[in-house]
């Protein structure tokens, strides 16, 4: 059954436990995205790829909309891979963008090792990342109209240009992520293993799979043994009667951290 699995992630700002939420839809309609984020608090952060309906989601819910630098880098990486190996020198435009993006990630890597607070990371980004972003923008504007839009490099340039306002926004706060890799990593096991559950040939079955993966990936995000949690959950679930009872069964309330 064709459709899309989408994933949402929360807890990256340190104000609550991390949550991984999966949902299924038979189509990629704009309404699917709107339904998934209905009720999200204004001012919350939404990071997405360049899929247009998420612009509507951000506007409708008054969200801070960020774009993912990993997606942007991937486009330039594909342009580099299309070049002959002896043509991948520093004079190539795609290589220059890869190098500049790598410098953005170097700032993030050093900051993680130093375990900077959100305020300290914001200051670090303003000092070190903003000049790199300015350099990227200058190169982008110079090269944008010098290549065929349908070429791999052209697609990478136009993608970056179209997403630029959202790509550069992460430096405005220290608790904004540079990319969506945490969410991508959460959905990867589901995508890689999907051939093992082709029996999910109904919407109900696909939603059941999404619910199960939401629980297990949330366990992983909270350092909880998923097998232990499911055994405990299935034991305690029949006893739950109220909303508070069900809340007490959420992974961070029920499960111990894994050894």
Cα of 142 vs its chain's centroid, Å: 29
Neighbours of 9 (CB within 10 A): 21
Same domain, 76 and 141: yes
Same domain, 58 and 99: no
Instruction: Identify whether residues 73 and 142 lie together within a single domain.
Output: yes
pLDDT at 23: 80
Note down the domain range covering 248. Answer: 224-259
Claim to verify: residue 100 and residue 149 sit in the same structural domain:
yes
Antiparallel, parallel or unpaired: β 19-25 and 4-10? antiparallel
Asked if the structure places residue 171 within a domain, the reply is: no
Let me know if residue 21 belongs to a domain. yes
Q: Are residues 157 and 73 in the same domain?
A: yes
What Cα–Cα distance (Å) separates residue 105 from each residue in 65, 96, 112, 128, 166? 20, 14, 11, 11, 17
Residues 205 and 240 in one domain: no
User: In this structure, are 76 and 59 located in the same domain?
Assistant: no
- pTM comes to 0.80
Domain count, the chain: 3
Is 20 within 8 Å of 219 (Cβ atoms)? no
Same domain? For 81 and 145 the reply is: yes
In a domain, 169, yes or no: no
Residues 215 and 232 in one domain: no
Check whether residue 32 and residue 103 sit in a common domain: no
pLDDT tens for the chain, 259 residues long, are 344 445 555 554 546 788 888 888 777 777 888 888 888 888 889 998 888 888 989 998 999 999 999 999 999 999 999 988 888 888 899 999 999 999 999 999 999 999 999 999 999 999 999 999 999 999 999 999 999 999 999 999 999 999 999 999 999 999 999 998 877 776 666 666 666 655 556 778 878 888 888 898 899 888 999 999 999 999 999 999 999 999 999 999 986 654 4
Domain identity same for 74 and 156: yes
- pLDDT score for 193: 63
Flag whether 229 is in a domain.
yes
pLDDT value of residue 7: 54
Closest by CA to 162, choosing from 93, 72, 79, is: 72
Residue 102: what pLDDT? 97
For residues 233 and 253, what is the distance between their CA atoms, to the nearest angstrom?
11
Contacts of 233 (CB under 8 A, 6+ apart): 215, 249, 254
Q: Are residues 95 and 13 both part of a single domain?
A: no
pLDDT at 40: 84
Given a contact cutoff of 8 angstroms between Cβ atoms, the answer to whether 163 and 50 are in contact is yes
Spell out a b/e string for 31-52, using b for 16 or more CB atoms within 10 Å of the CB, else e.
Answer: ebbeebbeebeeeebbbbebee
């Amino acid at each position: 059954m064709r459709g899309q699995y989408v994933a949402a992630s929360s807890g990256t700002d340190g104000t609550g436990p991390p949550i991984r939420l999966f949902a299924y839809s038979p189509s990629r309609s704009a309404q699917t995205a709107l339904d998934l984020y209905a009720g999200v608090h204004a001012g919350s952060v939404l990071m997405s790829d360049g899929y247009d309906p998420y612009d509507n989601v951000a506007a409708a819910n008054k969200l801070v909309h960020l774009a993912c630098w990993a997606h942007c880098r991937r486009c330039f990486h594909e342009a580099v891979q299309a070049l002959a190996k002896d043509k991948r020198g520093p004079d190539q435009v795609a290589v220059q963008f890869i190098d500049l993006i790598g410098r953005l990630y170097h700032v993030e890597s050093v900051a993680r090792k130093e375990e900077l607070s959100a305020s300290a990371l914001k200051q670090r980004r303003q000092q070190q990342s903003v000049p790199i972003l300015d350099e990227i923008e200058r190169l982008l504007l110079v090269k944008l109209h010098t290549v065929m839009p349908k070429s791999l490099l052209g697609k990478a340039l136009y993608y970056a240009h179209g997403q630029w306002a959202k790509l550069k926004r992460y430096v405005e706060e220290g608790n904004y992520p540079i990319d969506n890799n945490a969410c991508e990593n959460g959905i990867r096991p589901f995508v890689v293993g999907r051939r093992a559950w082709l029996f999910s040939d109904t919407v109900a079955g696909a939603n059941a799979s999404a619910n199960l993966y939401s629980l297990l990936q949330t366990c992983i995000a909270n350092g909880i043994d998923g097998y232990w949690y499911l055994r405990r959950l299935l034991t305690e679930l029949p006893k739950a009667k109220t909303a508070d009872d069900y809340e007490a069964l959420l992974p961070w309330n029920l499960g111990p951290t894994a050894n």
